Structure 1
Amino acid sequence: MAKRGVTVSSPTIIARAKNLGCYQPHPRKKTHDREVITTAVGALIQHDASHHRWSPYAKERWVLITFIDDFSRKLLYADFFEQESTWAHIKAAQSVMLTYGIPLRYYVDSLRVFRFVQGRDSVWRKHVLQTDEADPQWRQVMRVLGVDVAYALSPAAKGKVERPYRWLQDRIVRTCAIEKITTIDDVR
């Protein structure tokens, strides 16, 4: 048609093809529903940590470890640590479990503290163990307690626990600035 100087828009061609029964729309890709849905309090606890300069007067950055109940969205735990370590996460989990009981499942990211992920560090190193063939200490503690662990595939998948960080960063940083807090003990 273009060779003969006839111009027809794409919607017109599609409409005529539909009328003649010749049009087949492109199949839509299936979407993955990765949202975790819970039905009761304590069924799923989302666990995360945030590295941030919580006080403008502090010389170093601190780590805020938080736990949120997925069903009620209640902030179960929040505490500051000088550095993120396996022991800090185990102590935080212990505090939550002693206060609220043992949850059915934890929802965490693929940080080295929570999950053994082999092959992401170096392409030059020969890997003996593959992902999840070895359990980090935190995972061993959860296994002994009978707590199932689910891993988020991306940071966006943990939106429920990430959202409060915006609020916390805003409020805590302002409070630390107003009160001129310089130590982690003062911010607690």
Structure 2
Amino acid sequence: MSEKDIQRFKVLTDVREKRLRQVDAAIILNLSARHIRRLVNKLVSLGAQSLTHAARGRPSNRRYSEHFRIEILKLIREHYSDFSPTFALEKLTERHNLSVSKETLRQWMIADGLWLPHSQRKPRVYQPRYRRDCLGELIQIDGSHHDWFEGRSDKCCLLVFIDDATGRLMNLRFSETESAFDYMLTTREYLNEHGKPIAFYSDKHSIFRVNQEKHKQVGQTQYGHRKLEFKTFDKLEHVQQTQIVDNKRLGQVLKFAQQQQEEFEQQQQRTRSKKAPKRRAQQRALQTAPRTINPVLTEPFKASSRKT
């Protein structure tokens, strides 16, 4: 019995033993006085079991048959074993014309071991990054904004170069802002004093990353140099992209694309995309002098404070 049934049993027992009036019991249980008399009569004749619903503990009359449940789980096990309940339900409705509620399918997959709830999954363990072995192997660079001069001057940024293996401060420089120009000057100072490290390690500051979408689309790096991009030359414009997305992760995408290619070749409809670059352009880009790809590789470093 639930807590509600236990409370109702105590109140009706008091009414039956004349310790509580029917009107007061109706107020406590939020029922009518007539229904209180009906419940007291059932309690006297049938006992405490009469207070619970007769269908409690019995299978629902609207439940799915066992044969239907086995058929659904068989299809999921054969074709959609790595699908989520929502995605599996979409494919069952689309390809097999079988309809079932999402939560029911989820409970069936959990009971059959085909799906593990997120609350029961083990947290992902990330491998720690250990310190490097040698001095100068990895240099961590970062900027710290603070009132370093304690009010005697304006707030500034301290650019710090720290060796990862030993934790030594390799180079420090005060600058007004954390800019690319100041990082270049500090890097030049470090290279002149300690030589070239194997790698630098920085955060995701906008100086080290391209955050604007328009620059990503035109293929420009942070310092304005061209970046070579390799695209798919033979692009099937006649293939509907929605057909590939709908059949995602079904193991038939490559077979579907290959079949479409063969049909278009037979019908002489396979054409190249006008937006895709020519194959000869790729070869010319690779034969270009390194200076045009990255001028920093060939031109000497020249410090300048002029803004461009």
2:146 paired with 1:60 = no
Cα distance change on mapping 1:111 and 1:74 into 2, 3 Å = same
Q: Which residue of the partner structure matches residue 93 of structure 1?
A: 187
Cα distance change on mapping 1:73 and 1:99 into 2, 3 Å = same
2:215 paired with 1:129 = yes
One-letter amino acid of the counterpart of residue 223, structure 2: Q
Cα distance change on mapping 1:44 and 1:110 into 2, 3 Å = same
Q: Which residue of the partner structure matches residue 171 of structure 1?
A: none
Looking at secondary structure, tell me which structure has more helix per residue. 2
Q: Which residue of the partner structure matches residue 165 of structure 2?
A: 71
One-letter amino acid of the counterpart of residue 124, structure 2: K
The answer to whether the 8 Å contact 1:113/1:138 transfers is no
Structure 1 residues 36-88: Cα deviation after superposition (integer angstroms, max 9, x where no partner): 54222111100001111112233421111010010011110112112322111
DSSP 3-state at the match of 2:148? coil
Once the 2 structures are TM-superposed, how far is the Cα of residue 28 of structure 1 from its aligned partner? 0.9
% identical aligned pairs: 23
Cα distance change on mapping 1:66 and 1:2 into 2, 3 Å = same
Cα distance change on mapping 1:115 and 1:34 into 2, 3 Å = farther
The answer to whether the 8 Å contact 1:110/1:117 transfers is no
Supply the distance in 2 between the matched residues of 1:71 and 1:65 (Cα, whole angstroms). Answer: 19
> What pairs with 1:79-158 in structure 2 (closer than 5 Å)?
79-118=173-212, 127-130=213-216, 133-137=219-223, 144=297
Cα distance change on mapping 1:101 and 1:42 into 2, 3 Å = same
Supply the distance in 2 between the matched residues of 1:91 and 1:36 (Cα, whole angstroms). Answer: 29
| Bigger radius of gyration | 2
Question: Structure 1 stretches of 5 or more lacking a match?
Answer: 6-23, 119-126, 146-188
The answer to whether the 8 Å contact 2:215/2:221 transfers is no
Cα distance change on mapping 1:129 and 1:81 into 2, 3 Å = closer
Supply the distance in 2 between the matched residues of 1:138 and 1:105 (Cα, whole angstroms). Answer: 22
Q: Which residue of the partner structure matches residue 14 of structure 1?
A: none
The answer to whether the 8 Å contact 2:143/2:157 transfers is yes
Supply the distance in 2 between the matched residues of 1:138 and 1:56 (Cα, whole angstroms). Answer: 38
The answer to whether the 8 Å contact 1:85/1:113 transfers is yes
Supply the distance in 1 between the matched residues of 2:194 and 2:163 (Cα, whole angstroms). Answer: 10
One-letter amino acid of the counterpart of residue 70, structure 1: D
Looking at secondary structure, tell me which structure has more strand per residue. 1
RMSD over aligned CA atoms reads: 3.4
The answer to whether the 8 Å contact 1:114/1:138 transfers is no
> What pairs with 1:141-180 in structure 2 (closer than 5 Å)?
144=297
Which structure carries more relative contact order (alpha carbon 8 Å, separation 6+)?
1
The answer to whether the 8 Å contact 1:62/1:82 transfers is yes
Q: Which residue of the partner structure matches residue 18 of structure 1?
A: none
Question: Structure 2 stretches of 5 or more lacking a match?
Answer: 7-115, 226-292, 299-308
Once the 2 structures are TM-superposed, how far is the Cα of residue 135 of structure 1 from its aligned partner? 2.2
One-letter amino acid of the counterpart of residue 116, structure 1: V
One-letter amino acid of the counterpart of residue 179, structure 2: S
One-letter amino acid of the counterpart of residue 99, structure 1: E
Structure 1 residues 5-59: Cα deviation after superposition (integer angstroms, max 9, x where no partner): 8xxxxxxxxxxxxxxxxxx993312222252542221111000011111122334
Instruction: Count the aligned residue pairs.
Output: 118
One-letter amino acid of the counterpart of residue 175, structure 2: F
DSSP 3-state at the match of 1:129? helix
The answer to whether the 8 Å contact 2:141/2:201 transfers is yes
